[in-house]
Chain A
Amino acid sequence: KQEVTQIPAALSVPEGENLVLNCSFTDSAIYNLQWFRQDPGKGLTSLLLIQSSQREQTSGRLNASLDKSSGRSTLYIAASQPGDSATYLCAVSTQGGSEKLVFGKGTKLTVNP
């Protein structure tokens, strides 16, 4: 059974700092890994999708890496801004079964002005 863990559960940083969020998963047989952002009381916004054959994806100040063999992904946020404050969720789609996503519990990020 696929399990996804995110560390840390919460993170508070001053504005302008670069930061890394971590995600690990137990079954390396994945189709892809997605990083999402969730604002309070809102749905999920997809940030980056990394296919299992890829090593990283970049979008603006965000960079996500994937090491499938070790079951790890990181989300790097450069020059953080107060508007980046949200909960960040990592999810994987595992081969050999339904196409469902298995989520971690998220990292709650607060960027202080």
Chain B
Amino acid sequence: GAGVSQSPRYKVAKRGQDVALRCDPISGHVSLFWYQQALGQGPEFLTYFQNEAQLDKSGLPSDRFFAERPEGSVSTLKIQRTQQEDSAVYLCASSLTLAGENEQFFGPGTRLTVL
């Protein structure tokens, strides 16, 4: 596609439910990132993939958060047993090659509200 797409755009979950957020990066982009943005804050790093390899997951807040990119393209961020503090916008970004040398392009985000 022309840009990074994310689905769903909005998700409301009851506390304790599991959710899955999808990211479709720009075709051919090697690097993929997930960020979490709380209201009024800048995005914060969650995890990074280079192709299908998850090279950095140091930003994942707890073991309830899990991300995968099994075929090196589409990625899914899964949150188990959601809690109210998980409410945020989840942003996905992709980059052509090594992200340190290239621009990151962001999707529109998924706004998660946990009741």
Which residues of A pack against B, CB within 8 Å? Answer: 4, 31-32, 34, 36, 41-46, 49, 51, 89, 91, 93, 95, 97-106
Contacts and interface: CB of A to CB of B under 8 A. Distances in A.
* Secondary structure type dominating chain A contacts: strand
Given A32-B101, A46-B103, A89 B42 contact: yes
A100 B111 CA distance: 21
B31 interface: yes
B42 A104 contact: yes
B108 to A, nearest CB: 4
Contacts of A46: 103-106
> What range describes how many residues of B lie at the interface?
20 to 34
Interface of B: 4, 31, 33, 35, 40-45, 48, 55-56, 58-59, 91, 93, 95, 98-101, 103-109, 111
Contact of B107 (A4, A36, A43): A43
